[in-house]
Amino acid sequence: MATDSWAQAVDEQEAAAESISSLQINEKDDKPKVEANGAKTEGNGNKTEGNTNKTEGNTNKTEGNTNKTEGNANKTEEDDKDDKAAQSLLNKLIRSNLVNTTNQVEVLQRDPSSPLYSVKSFEELRLKPQLLQGVYAMGFNRPSKIQETALPMMLAEPPQNLIAQSQSGTGKTAAFVLAMLSHVDPENKWPQCLCVSPTYELALQTGKVIEQMGKFYPEVQLVYAIRGNKLERGTRLQEQIVIGTPGTVLDWCQKLKFIDPKKIKVFVLDEADVMIATQGHQDQSIRIQRMLPKSCQMLLFSATFEETVWNFAKRIVPDPNIIKLKREEETLDTIKQYYVICNSKEEKFQALCNIYGAITIAQAMIFCHTRKTAGWLAGELSREGHQVALLSGEMQVEQRAAVIERFRDGKEKVLVTTNVCARGIDVEQVSVVINFDLPVDKDGNPDNETYLHRIGRTGRFGKRGLAINMVDSRFSMNILNRIQEHFNKKIEKLDTDDLDEIEKIAN
């Protein structure tokens, strides 16, 4: 058990996570998040505000799901989906800027003979002045790479269908939000745009972007179709944009008839790669799509584009234009990789202390296999006087985002985390990565992808980096050897009892 106050706080925090989660309903009622949602609906009077508040009852459940993501080896498909949804949400919460990329977009036009427009400014899009004002108020000066091509396609007359794939942070959400806002007729008091997201939280994030971008366009209203938002039977929605999760959207269209699907002009399916992780969501999305008129514009977005996503995308979007923006490749070329042989976690910790004693480490990320080891290590490091942040899967997703944000801002110098927790999260400036435990997949094989993502850097933004792997058994030595073979890059042995040797690695 923890002996110092900090480690004790961590223990308590982890132990309290469940009770925090069950307190959510009451707490959330006062959260600014709710007010932010309500703000957009002001013009609509109490009705929508009531709706918005009622939806909060749902929060607990979905966040409960998110918390499950911390499972290690024995992950189920459901956990996988939660994991992806949580990653996606975390990335959204911690990102404040566009992701830079040097890659060019690949475009596959439905009609290759039609000219391909791309824009370099928002003015060229002839947006409604209220929307242009909204875009500039968000601090956007010019379209992002994917927006340059996607926006003219989405705003064209007649509307064109689009499947777009690019990594998180490249401006997809902002693009389709602008398309939805451009296509609605504010005079018509019925739903015209339908957007489905995999989880309540992701829907809420998109809703916030709609609110921000539509700030100067108050005639356009938004409503959340999510479980827990119970409307009276016979209600006919007046809001022009509906954003929600597939199950509730389907119910609202089919069973409860709050929405007339025949009047929908734009259908957006966001985060398709997260969506397909749940079989039910796929089926529901397809059933929604089938209720929409042929003339409805279908748009689908995904951060990744595996075969399964592609198969699903083709069922949702007929005759699509396709835009792809490749992720910037990660490489180990600029990284110095070492391994250290130890016999126990205590020895690993000692090795770590020796490294810290010999070289100056501005910021490091340390990965452990289990939450227990991560907690223990964070406590030990803290006792040694390090400013440590611990990322634990027990935490609410917002709490995790806050921890990463503090670390990103340099408030803490060491971030200890479990494998699952930090997967897919980018903290670019970290120059030292320590694998306290090597990454393995659920079958006990080396997880090369995770290794690369943790340690690798993209070519252009790549600063030199240092990776240190702790090896404590024949099993982990075998994993290390296989990682080395896979990347065909030598991982050098480091003797952490030899201070001179450690000093050399910093040069």
Ligand X SMILES: Nc1ncnc2c1ncn2[C@@H]1O[C@H](COP(=O)(O)OP(=O)(O)OP(=O)(O)O)[C@@H](O)[C@H]1O
Shortest distance, CB of residue 180 to ligand X, whole angstroms? 13
Q: How far is CA 304 from the centre of its chain?
A: 12
- Cβ neighbours, 10 Å, residue 336: 15
Element (H, E) at 8: helix 5-28
Question: Which phi-psi region, left, alpha or beta, contains residue 94 (left: φ > 0; alpha: ψ -120 to 50)?
Answer: alpha
Q: Which of 2, 31, 75, 140 binds ligand X (CB under 6 A)?
A: 140
* Only segment of 9-17, 94-102, 359-367, 434-442 that touches ligand X (CB under 6 A): 94-102
Taking residues 281 to 310 in sequence order and writing x for each that binds ligand X by CB under 6 A, - otherwise, the string is ----------------------x-------
Q: Which of 145, 172, 371, 454 binds ligand X (CB under 6 A)?
A: 172
Shortest distance, CB of residue 162 to ligand X, whole angstroms? 14
* Only segment of 171-179, 250-258, 259-267, 359-367 that touches ligand X (CB under 6 A): 171-179
Q: Which of 5, 96, 113, 488 binds ligand X (CB under 6 A)?
A: 96
Q: Which of 95, 230, 493, 504 binds ligand X (CB under 6 A)?
A: 95
Q: Which of 24, 58, 144, 469 binds ligand X (CB under 6 A)?
A: 144
According to DSSP H, which parts of 75-189 are helical? 77-94, 129-137, 145-155, 172-183
- Cβ neighbours, 10 Å, residue 176: 28
- 333-336: long-range pairs with CB below 8 Å, 24+: 333/462, 334/457, 334/462, 334/463, 334/464, 334/465, 335/455, 335/456, 335/457, 335/464, 335/465, 335/466, 335/467, 336/464, 336/465, 336/466, 336/467, 336/492, 336/505
Shortest distance, CB of residue 334 to ligand X, whole angstroms? 26
Closer residue to ligand X (CB): 224 or 451: 224
* Only segment of 170-178, 310-318, 413-421, 478-486 that touches ligand X (CB under 6 A): 170-178
Binding to ligand X in span 64-93, by CB under 6 A: 91-92
Is 170 among the residues that bind ligand X (CB under 6 A)?
yes
Question: Treating both helix axes as pointing N-terminal to C-terminal, what angle do 77-94 and 200-213 enclose, rounded to 10 degrees?
Answer: 30
Residue 302 bridge partners (DSSP)? 165
Binding to ligand X in span 333-372, by CB under 6 A: none
Is 214 among the residues that bind ligand X (CB under 6 A)?
no
- Cβ neighbours, 10 Å, residue 281: 23
* Only segment of 95-103, 312-320, 344-352, 403-411 that touches ligand X (CB under 6 A): 95-103
Contact criterion met (CB below 8 Å) for 457 and 331: yes
Closer residue to ligand X (CB): 147 or 354: 147
Vertex 88: Cα angle to 242 and 85 (nearest 5): 75
Closer residue to ligand X (CB): 58 or 168: 168
Shortest distance, CB of residue 304 to ligand X, whole angstroms? 11
Which among 220, 60, 54, 204 is positioned nearest to 134, based on CA atoms? 220
Binding to ligand X in span 377-436, by CB under 6 A: none
Upstream peptide bond of 293 is cis (omega within 30 degrees of 0): no
Shortest distance, CB of residue 258 to ligand X, whole angstroms? 27
Q: Which of 38, 169, 246, 446 binds ligand X (CB under 6 A)?
A: 169
Contact criterion met (CB below 8 Å) for 431 and 398: no
Shortest distance, CB of residue 287 to ligand X, whole angstroms? 24
Which stretches of the chain bind ligand X, using CB under 6 A? 91-92, 95-98, 138, 140, 143-144, 147, 168-174, 303
